[in-house]
Amino acid sequence: MSNVYDKAHELSRTIRESEEFQQLKQLHEAVEQDEIAKRMLDNFRQLQLNLLQKEQQGQVPTEQEITEAQKQMELVQQHEMISKLMAEEQRVSTLIGDVSKIITEPLEELYGVPDQE
């Protein structure tokens, strides 16, 4: 039992020390310190969140909202630091997703969830 927790902490440390996570951390801090970039990203995320919440409530976004979301998406994509941050977030997300699949393999085998490899 404690062995599982020890190994989990080891893995957590390895993730923290990974090149992916260190890059993400640097970009995250760089954006935090750049007022314009930070506001742009906050706006974008808030807009995405609003659209998602609408969707979850079964509502259809208006044409204006879709246009606004596209405009914000183009803005953040053209911003080098933010687009780098978002690409790095994607890399870390893939890494964590892979790790999660590896860890739940024993359960998949037991419950016969189809293997995705």
- Write out the residues near a copy of itself by the rule CB under 8 A: 1, 3-5, 7-12, 14-16, 18-21, 24-25, 28, 92, 95-96, 98-100, 102-107, 110
Residue 33 or 64 with smaller CB distance to a copy of itself: 33
- Does residue number 105 form part of the binding site for Ca ion (CB under 5 A)? yes
User: Which residue, chain included where needed, has tokens 């090149």?
Assistant: 19
- The tally of CA atoms less than 13 A away on the side-chain side of residue 50 is 12
User: Cα dihedral sign for 49, 52, 56, 62?
Assistant: positive
- Does residue number 115 form part of the binding site for Ca ion (CB under 5 A)? yes
> Residue 92 carries which side chain, given as an amino acid letter?
V
Q: How far apart are CA 104 and CA 94, in angstroms?
A: 15
Residue 65 or 91 with smaller CB distance to a copy of itself: 91
Residue 61, classed as helix, strand or coil, is: coil
- Does residue number 35 form part of the binding site for Ca ion (CB under 5 A)? no
Q: How far apart are CA 94 and CA 99, in angstroms?
A: 9
In this chain, which stretch among 3-11, 60-68, 84-92, 109-117 interacts with Ca ion, using CB under 5 A? 109-117
In this chain, which stretch among 12-20, 39-47, 69-77, 108-116 interacts with Ca ion, using CB under 5 A? 108-116
Q: How far is the CB of 12 from Ca ion (least distance, A)?
A: 9
